[in-house]
């Protein structure tokens, strides 16, 4: 059974204070690892897909990396508008559904 664990559950940062979110996974054949951003009361918003170990992707202040066991979402010089819950999910070759972690709630204070 695919499993995804995200840490920390919550993270408070000052504006400009860089940090990383962790996503550890076990999966029977990784087809893709996905990062989403979710604002309160809204659906998840797609950020990145990573397909193989060593791959990296960037978007504005966010950078996602992937190893064979975990993925990191690095946030450089965050702003208050980056406050949200960040979700990690995996897709395996065994099916077509995403298996999500519990998310990291990020709060960036001005």
Binding footprint of another protein on the chain (CB under 8 A): 4, 31-32, 34, 36, 41-46, 49, 87, 89, 91, 95-103
Least distance in angstroms from the C-beta of 36 to another protein: 8
Least distance in angstroms from the C-beta of 110 to another protein: 25
Contacts of 47 (CB under 8 A, 6+ apart): 34, 35, 36, 37, 59, 62, 64, 86
C-beta of 41 vs 110, nearer to another protein: 41
C-beta of 78 vs 101, nearer to another protein: 101
C-beta of 15 vs 45, nearer to another protein: 45
Least distance in angstroms from the C-beta of 65 to another protein: 18
C-beta of 3 vs 18, nearer to another protein: 3
């Amino acid at each position: 059974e695919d499993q995804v664990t995200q840490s920390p559950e919550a993270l408070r940062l000052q504006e400009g204070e860089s940090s990383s979110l962790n996503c550890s996974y076990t999966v029977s054949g990784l087809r893709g690892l996905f990062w989403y951003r979710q604002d309160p009361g809204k659906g998840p918003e797609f950020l990145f897909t990573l397909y193989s170990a060593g791959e990296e992707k960037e978007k504005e202040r966010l950078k996602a990396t992937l190893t064979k066991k975990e993925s990191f979402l690095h946030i450089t010089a965050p702003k208050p508008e980056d406050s949200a819950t960040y979700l990690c999910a995996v897709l395996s070759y065994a099916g077509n559904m995403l298996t999500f972690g519990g998310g990291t709630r990020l709060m960036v204070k001005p």
